């Protein structure tokens, strides 16, 4: 679900190279509006879903300069887009449930399958996802779970479920963080209480709120990004996080371990979409086809510690990565997880209780 989410701005401009060696060629990358140009592509993505090497590799193949901005939550991305700040971007990376919301809002262009090269490289489970049947509007980029990363040297016994936070509240006081995400945090507690991540029962939402309220004094922050440096420095001993972040940070400190809570959690997919306002449609398809290349998918997975949905790319990964259960969890874990789904007007109920929880 890498750190899914750092404000990164990169600009890479390199000479154009032929695509013949990789089996396909971009006929023409042409800007569709005056906002863009044929040799520029603006993307809006999650933190650390791109790096200089990725941008450079694309520019080497296509001859198009990439400018990447990053966000740390779906809500931030959507708010910017709806406020008129998204018109520059030709590629955006919303999560699964946000794809549904953006489709309902009429913001996304349909993906033209005949313009894709490498779609069949995807694992079958990602070729017709519930959040976007037949991948009509999106192409999967990364997937994972939400759980807890913890310092195994300090926390013994280790956490096995969400209720660990309440049972060890005194020890964890001001040394743990939860995500700054209403649906993830409320969903985790709902799951712990035996309800659905996507509950539309206000009494259940209130029960989850009351549970969180009793824990709030021990929570250092509701944070999606800053916890990484804090847990590495030893200021935190536990953080709610996305699996991709946990895998990445464990490379820096092997004492940091990740667990998907026993009662279940969320299963997420971050995707690539083309907004209707995209100024460089051809560039957007070039980017998607670039990402679908097995060797590119494998390099991204290995370098950025993400769970590739690309079967052909997965097969090129070292065995150690293929067998990393945090990156590629077994079905027994996935069976306990739920995808977040849009809840329409009922999301206002979540927001109301979230405001009560986080304010003051």
pLDDT tens-digit series, residues 298-320: 999 998 888 999 999 999 999 99
Task: Give the per-residue pLDDT at 125.
Answer: 87
Distance CA 231, CA 227 (A): 6
Residue 152: is its pLDDT beyond 70? yes
Task: Give the per-residue pLDDT at 23.
Answer: 31
Residue 4: is its pLDDT beyond 60? no
Residues β-bridged to residue 41: 66
In the chain the domains, ranked by start, together with CATH numbers, are 10-143+268-322 (3.40.190.10), 144-267+329-358 (3.40.190.10)
Confidence label for 73 from pLDDT (cuts 50, 70 and 90) = confident
How is residue 259 written in tokens? 């667990």
Confidence label for 3 from pLDDT (cuts 50, 70 and 90) = very low
Task: Give the per-residue pLDDT at 314.
Answer: 97
The pLDDT of 322-329, averaged and rounded, is 93
How is residue 247 written in tokens? 């895998």
Determine if residue 253 is left, alpha or beta; phi over 0 gives left, psi from -120 to 50 gives alpha, anything else beta.
beta
Would strands 10-12 and 65-71 be described as parallel, antiparallel, or unpaired?
A: antiparallel
Q: If you average pLDDT over each of 11-25, 63-77, 205-219, which comes out highest?
A: 205-219
Confidence label for 342 from pLDDT (cuts 50, 70 and 90) = confident
Distance CA 30, CA 141 (A): 24
Burial zone of 316 (CB within 10 Å; 0-12 exposed, 13-18 middle, 19+ buried) = middle
Q: What's the pTM?
A: 0.81
Burial zone of 104 (CB within 10 Å; 0-12 exposed, 13-18 middle, 19+ buried) = exposed
pLDDT above 70: percentage of residues in the chain: 89
Measuring CA to CA, how many Å separate 91 from each of 2, 46, 234, 280, 305?
A: 19, 12, 37, 9, 21
Residue 355: is its pLDDT beyond 80? yes
Average pLDDT, the chain: 88
Please give the residue that has the higher pLDDT: either 356 or 26.
Answer: 356
Task: Give the per-residue pLDDT at 99.
Answer: 96
Among 136, 93, 141, residue whose Cα is nearest residue 111: 136
Distance CA 140, CA 155 (A): 35
Task: Give the per-residue pLDDT at 39.
Answer: 86
Among 294, 334, 339, residue whose Cα is nearest residue 314: 294
Number of other CB atoms surrounding residue 217 within 10 Å:
9
């Amino acid at each position: 679900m890498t750190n899914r989410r750092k404000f990164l701005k990169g600009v890479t401009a390199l000479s154009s190279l032929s695509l013949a060696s990789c089996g396909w060629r971009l006929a023409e990358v042409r800007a569709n509006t005056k906002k863009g140009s044929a040799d520029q592509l603006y993307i809006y993505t999650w933190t650390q879903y791109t790096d200089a090497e990725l941008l450079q590799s694309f520019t080497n193949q296509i001859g198009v300069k990439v400018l990447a901005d990053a966000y740390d939550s779906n809500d931030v991305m959507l708010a910017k887009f709806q406020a008129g700040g998204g018109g520059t971007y030709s590629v955006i990376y919303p999560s699964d449930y946000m794809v549904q919301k953006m489709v309902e809002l009429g913001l996304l262009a349909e993906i033209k399958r005949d313009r894709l090269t490498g779609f069949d490289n995807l694992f079958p489970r990602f070729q017709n996802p519930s959040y976007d049947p037949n991948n009509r509007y999106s192409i999967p980029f990364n997937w994972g779970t939400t759980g807890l990363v913890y310092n195994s040297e300090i926390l013994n016994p280790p956490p096995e479920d969400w209720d660990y936070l309440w049972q060890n509240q005194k020890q964890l006081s001001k040394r743990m963080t939860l995500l700054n995400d209403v649906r993830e945090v409320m969903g985790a507690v709902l799951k712990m209480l035996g309800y659905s991540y996507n509950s539309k029962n206000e009494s259940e939402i209130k029960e989850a709120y009351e549970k969180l309220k009793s824990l709030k004094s021990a929570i250092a922050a509701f944070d999606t990004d800053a916890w990484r440096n804090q847990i590495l420095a030893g200021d935190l001993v536990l953080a709610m996080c996305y699996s991709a972040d946990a895998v990445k940070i464990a490379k820096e400190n092997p004492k940091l371990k990740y667990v998907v809570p026993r009662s279940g959690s969320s299963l997420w997919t971050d995707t690539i979409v083309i907004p209707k306002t995209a100024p460089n449609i051809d560039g957007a398809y070039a980017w998607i086809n670039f990402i679908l290349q097995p060797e590119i998918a494998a390099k991204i997975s290995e370098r950025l510690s993400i769970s590739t949905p690309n079967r052909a790319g997965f097969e090129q990964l070292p065995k150690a990565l293929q067998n990393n259960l945090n990156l590629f969890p077994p079905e027994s874990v996935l069976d306990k997880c739920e995808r977040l789904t849009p809840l329409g007007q009922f999301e206002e109920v979540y927001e109301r209780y979230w405001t009560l929880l986080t304010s003051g």
